[in-house]
């Protein structure tokens, strides 16, 4: 009962103040022993995986060029396409804990432009720190948290620092309270 009361009070505080409480950096970022697999002086996304609707297949060269212009390593399987009659790709996005706020916003904007919308956030601990996935079908329902359009807009706020971005992502996915830990 005390936990419920505390959770309600905290919820009211966040709702009425419009801000979140600081989250310990140990939950937001990879450990100090982590070494990225790419040169993060240019961009903090080392690996990106994208699934798009088949209607974008003719744009593959353009999309690859865009990603390369951002210094993202693009492999043959980086951009994959849903089957012509396979329906719409998932509307989720996974953003690793070492991706900068600027790069994360670029990935969200890419997902909105080429995958129509973002309805789900994938829990960060499931992904490598310098990883982004757009429209991935690799995760089950428990690892994807619904996000409201207004909360997605909060994540896209260009004023957010990387720490503020990941703190908000952590809050929106409720990572600290995941009951069925599978990682």
What pLDDT digit, counting tens, does each position of 37-63 carry? 888 888 999 999 999 988 899 999 999
Tokens 């709702």 -> residue:
15
54, 56, 57, 60 alpha-carbon torsion, rounded to 10°: -150
Separation of alpha carbons 56 and 52, rounded Å: 7
For the cut 80, the answer to whether the pLDDT of residue 15 exceeds it is no
Mean pLDDT to the nearest integer, 98-122: 96
Beta-bridged to residue 45, according to DSSP, are: none
For the cut 60, the answer to whether the pLDDT of residue 5 exceeds it is no
For the cut 50, the answer to whether the pLDDT of residue 93 exceeds it is yes
pLDDT at 36: 84
Write the DSSP symbol of residue 59.
G
pLDDT at 13: 42
């Amino acid at each position: 009962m005390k936990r419920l009361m505390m959770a309600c009070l905290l919820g009211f505080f966040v709702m009425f103040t419009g801000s979140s409480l600081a989250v310990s950096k140990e939950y937001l970022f990879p450990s100090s022993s982590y070494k990225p697999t790419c040169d993060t002086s240019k961009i903090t996304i080392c690996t990106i995986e994208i699934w798009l609707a088949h209607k974008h297949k003719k744009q593959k060269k353009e999309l690859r060029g865009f990603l390369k212009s951002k210094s993202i390593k693009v492999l043959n399987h980086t951009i994959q396409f849903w089957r012509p009659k396979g329906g719409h790709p998932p509307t989720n996005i996974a953003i690793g804990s070492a991706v900068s706020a600027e790069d994360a916003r670029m990935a969200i904007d890419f997902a909105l432009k080429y995958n129509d919308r973002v309805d789900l956030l994938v829990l960060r601990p499931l992904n490598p720190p310098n990883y982004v996935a757009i429209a991935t079908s690799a995760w089950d329902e428990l690892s994807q948290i619904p996000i409201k359009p207004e909360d997605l807009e909060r994540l896209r706020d260009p004023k957010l620092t990387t720490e503020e971005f990941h703190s908000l992502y952590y809050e929106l996915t409720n990572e600290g309270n995941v009951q069925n830990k599978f990682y």
